[in-house]
Amino acid sequence: MIGSAEIIRRARQAGIVVPAFNIPYLPMVEPIVRAVADEDCFALIQVARLEWEKFGSGSLEAVAEEFRRHEDPEHVRLHLDHIPVIDEDHRRVDFLPLIRRAIAAGYQSVMVDGSRLELEANIRATREVAELAHLAGIPCEAELGAVLGHEEGPLPPYEELFASGRGFTDPEEARRFVRESGCDWLSVAIGNIHGAVSKAQRDQKKVEARLALEHLDKLARSTGIPLVLHGGSGIRPEDLRKAFPRGIAKLNVGTELRQAYEGALRRGGAKEAREAVRLRTRELLRETYGLSGSRGRL
């Protein structure tokens, strides 16, 4: 079976993307896997710490168990998303035990998020996780820059954020970070924002974001590794399609499918919610990302 590192490397070479779908609720796993297979493309199934802390995914082990029930090795792999060193509530997290648990549970790639740390501390934390991951034969994702949205309270005006470049990943810092941390994939900030997770804001439509594509070009040149775009929901489709051949090889998608699930659950019930997720996943893969039939290229 081809590993996650090789699949993402091939995606970068081919100029296409591997979407990574977040699982805030366990019943979302099966319809997402089925949709990916129906479109004959490739994706990651992933869960972040905040999704078992603030939503209904239970634990990283619960998601791994559900994944195994519906696993389709031709189309999906399992990824551990956002394990923060400092979380969205500004609490220090004991992150290494979570990484060890994920490796023991069979996750095929892992992510540590030290982006709220100073550069030196982020490098040190990422290096620790990368060494653990590489000993297990799996890749490590990291984050540099400020992809906002998970924090409590409203964001500053988006146009103000974009125009100022506030939080954008610095290309020279990224060059050093990749060299010294040993990470395999790097999540970057280029205008993308996370979906809100606070109870007061999680149902709101995301701001339509756009991407600083020339800045992305600089990051791709300075790092030389596959880049990751978090906050994939709500970004202008034309910007997404331009970003894939520029080095974005993994795209995180959470808010659109979570809101589809929650809305259908309120209106109809569990069966309707699963079907809403399946249909929306197929629509994204086919129409927004243009990935139908792309599995053979990986």
Is position 184 within any domain? yes
Active site residues: 81
44/75 Cα distance (integer angstroms): 8
Residue 153's CATH number: 3.20.20.70
Is position 295 within any domain? no
Is position 294 within any domain? no
Number of independent structural domains in the chain: 1
> pLDDT value at position 163?
64
Is position 27 within any domain? yes
Query: Residue 25 CB: number of other CB atoms within 10 A?
Result: 22
Token pair 């994920």: residue: 102
> pLDDT value at position 197?
40
Q: What is the pLDDT of residues 92-132, one digit of tens each?
A: 999 999 999 999 999 999 999 999 999 999 999 999 999 99
> pLDDT value at position 170?
95
Q: What is the pLDDT of residues 13-38, one digit of tens each?
A: 999 999 999 999 999 999 999 999 99
> pLDDT value at position 201?
47
102/99 Cα distance (integer angstroms): 5
Q: Please report, in tens digits, the pLDDT of each residue of the chain (298 residues total).
A: 899 999 999 999 999 999 999 999 999 999 999 999 999 999 999 999 999 999 999 999 999 999 999 999 999 999 999 999 999 889 999 999 999 999 999 999 999 999 999 999 999 999 999 999 999 999 999 999 877 655 455 666 766 676 666 789 999 999 999 999 999 999 999 988 765 444 544 455 556 778 999 999 999 999 999 999 998 777 889 999 999 999 999 999 998 999 999 999 999 999 999 999 999 999 999 999 999 999 999 9
Alpha helices of 112-227 — where are they, by DSSP H? 119-135, 158-164, 171-181, 213-223
Structure tokens at 87: 């979380």
User: What domain range is 188 assigned to?
Assistant: 4-289
Q: Please say whether the beta carbons of 146 and 189 come within 8 A.
A: yes
Nearest CA among 204, 197, 233 for reference residue 89: 197
Is position 296 within any domain? no
> pLDDT value at position 152?
58
Is position 62 within any domain? yes
Is position 239 within any domain? yes
Is position 177 within any domain? yes
